[in-house]
Amino acid sequence: MRATLLHITETLNTFMAKIRQYPKILVIQTAFIGDAILASSVLESIYAQFPEANLNLLVRSGNDALYKNHPFLKRCWIWNKQKNKILHLIKLIVSIRKERFNAIINLHRHLSSGLISGFSKADYVCGFKQNPCSFLFHYRVSHRLALGLHETQRYSELLAEFEDCYYKKPKLYPDYNSLKLKNLNLQFKYVVIAPGSVWFTKQAPLKLWIELCKKLVSNHTVFIIGAHSDSNICNAIAQSVPECVNVVGQFNLLESAALMSGAVMNYVNDSAPLHLCSAVNAPVTVFFCSTVKDFGFGPLSDVQFLIETHQLSCRPCGLHGYNACPKKHFKCGEDLLPYIQSVSL
């Protein structure tokens, strides 16, 4: 036991010496958009302590758009999961092995990222115990769904062995001078709504968004944003409240973040736009339907409001959303409508 502890100590000392001299680090988060946004908190923490570090990030294809023209990220690696997933994974493992990273910080808890980390030949690998390949890591911590602990704080626990590496909030770097934004001529107070969500039970009902917009358009310009996949609900709102400016599918992730940063308020679900607001410190009001803030994915903006019901024994019904309400009534969404009457700006 003593010999094992000495070996671990020697490994960590060797690792830290290399980090101080030749800091080449890879952060891995190949989950969804929100997770990729929150991963920026780790980049910020490392950069604050090691500004000369050769910082790399691995994300799934599409999420790399979040890190376009990032000021201190040396490379954004991309794993294409849409086509020939396994072949691309093997090629990725081979490429990363050749890089011989000093450290890999794996924020993902799935087998695939564990294989990338475990076979990387990196001097030091850390990740969560729940990863099936965590036995290949040098340092492991438990991913705890503790009350009030934000996901970015759980990420930060992986940095315990990095000298003087402290928690930082997620941060993105949009182009605030984007031509698309300039064309909007934003010389007025405006509100942004992002009504879409991948999961039905995490998306506030259509009638709530319509009533909210009817109330807001009397004093503000209201922009409706979302991906092309959100077109149905965005178009339905625009048809019911034609005074709104429907720009669904017209802005990429960073452009959306830039637009949201200048809004007097953003109204979102428990979905990616919530985390965009956190990453640019934009004011936000979040509708929590089937999920709750205590899962660790709540807003981090200085100005934030939560709208949710506390009267349902079936809520929350799971960490992630569902395509339909398991109880077939969706009261966690429907019961939010009366709260709209209290909205004021």
pLDDT tens digits, 53-94: 999 999 999 999 999 999 999 999 999 988 888 999 999 999
With 60 as the cut, is the pLDDT of residue 4 above it?
no
Query: Is 199 in the same domain as 126?
Result: no
Q: Are residues 7 and 151 in the same domain?
A: yes
Last residue of a domain, one of 110, 130, 159: 159
Q: What's the domain count of the chain? A: 2
**CATH code where residue 250 lies:** 3.40.50.2000
Is the predicted pLDDT of residue 14 greater than 70, yes or no?
no
Q: Is 15 in the same domain as 76?
A: yes
Model confidence pLDDT, tens digit, residues 319-338: 888 999 999 999 999 999 98
In a domain, 84, yes or no: yes
Long-range residue pairs from 156-159, CB within 8 A, at least 24 positions apart, any chain:
156/41, 156/42, 156/45, 158/42, 158/105, 158/106, 158/107, 158/126, 158/127, 158/128, 159/42, 159/45, 159/46, 159/105
| Judgement on whether residues 200 and 252 belong to the same structural domain of the protein | yes
Percent of the chain beyond pLDDT 70? Answer: 92
3-class secondary structure per residue, 232-280: HHHHHHHHHCCCCEECCCCCCHHHHHHHHHCCCEEEEECCHHHHHHHHH
**pLDDT category of residue 119 using cuts at 50, 70 and 90:** very high
Q: What is the pLDDT of residues 262-289, one digit of tens each?
A: 999 999 999 999 999 999 999 999 999 9
Q: Are residues 40 and 126 in the same domain?
A: yes
135/196 same-domain check: no
For residue 115, give its domain range: 2-159
Q: How confident is the model at residue 178 (pLDDT cuts 50, 70, 90)?
A: confident
pLDDT value at residue 325: 93
Last residue of a domain, one of 159, 189, 214: 159
> Does residue 116 register a pLDDT over 80?
yes
Q: Which pLDDT score, from 0 to 100, does residue 16 have?
A: 57
Residue 110 has pLDDT above 60, yes or no: yes
Q: How far is CA 136 from CA 73, 128, 150, 173, 298, in A?
A: 26, 11, 26, 34, 32
Residues 90 and 219 occupy one common structural domain = no
Q: Are residues 183 and 287 in the same domain?
A: yes
Tell me, yes or no, whether 204 and 239 share the same domain: yes
Domain termination residue (choose one: 159, 190, 210): 159
**Is there a single domain that holds both residue 27 and residue 100?**
yes
Is the torsion defined by CA of 210, 213, 217, 223 positive or negative? negative
Tell me: do 220 and 293 sit in the same domain: yes
